Amino acid sequence: MSRANCYLTSAAPVQVDDLRLSKPPYQYRDAMQWPGRAKISFCMTCKNRLWQLAHTMPRNLFAIRADGCAEMVLVNYNSQDRLDTWIRQFRSAVEAGTLRYVHEQSDPYFHTAKAKNLAHLAATGEFVVNRDADDFIGDTIGEGQKTLDGQPGYRYSGILQRFQ
């Protein structure tokens, strides 16, 4: 299997395989069996949308830090708008674990499924929620936590839409 020209930014860059994502070891837990709050991973994929992230990222990271039980996963899908340089201002969020940044550099064309799969593989939360680069997370973290923690055994689409 060939190596993709892709990396995950954490305390140290981690190389990404085509079908597997190498990441630091951590303990998985069954969110439905574990007491306490479940961690939510908000996954965003981006190609040439820095103009939107510049508005949403600071407020979203503030909301995630304030919650204390969430993270943002951002996949830069070979953006040509200097996103890789711009994101460096959030190094403290990467080091704190509130932001996980994946940079896919080999594919010239955007593939939604591959980008979302990379984001989901990099996520460390029990619940994964897809968001767009222009979305503000705001108070949905707390509302989502109440919904997810109060209704074990349900599957969710989005953060507040429940399907049985």
Q: Give the separation between CA 128 and CA 156, rounded to whole angstroms.
A: 10
DSSP β-bridge partners for residue 157: 161
CATH topology of domain 8-15+37-150: Spore Coat Polysaccharide Biosynthesis Protein SpsA; Chain A (3.90.550)
Antiparallel, parallel or unpaired: β 99-104 and 70-77: parallel
118 Cβ contact list (under 8 Å, min separation 6): 6, 16, 21, 45, 75, 102, 104
105 Cβ contact list (under 8 Å, min separation 6): 5, 6, 7, 78
Which residue did the predictor score with more confidence, 152 or 40?
Answer: 40
**CA 122 remoteness from chain centre:** 7
Q: Give the separation between CA 118 and CA 79, rounded to whole angstroms.
A: 15
38 dihedral zone (left: phi>0; alpha: psi -120 to 50; beta): beta
* CB contact at 8 A, 21 and 122: yes
- Statement: residue 6 has pLDDT above 90: no
Per this entry, what is the length of the chain?
164
DSSP one-letter code for 82: S
Out of 12-26, 34-48, 150-164, the most confident range is 34-48
* CB contact at 8 A, 76 and 83: yes
Domain ranges of the chain: 8-15+37-150
- pLDDT tens, 103-138? 998 888 899 899 999 999 999 988 888 999 999 987
* CB contact at 8 A, 70 and 43: no
Give this prediction's pTM. Answer: 0.73
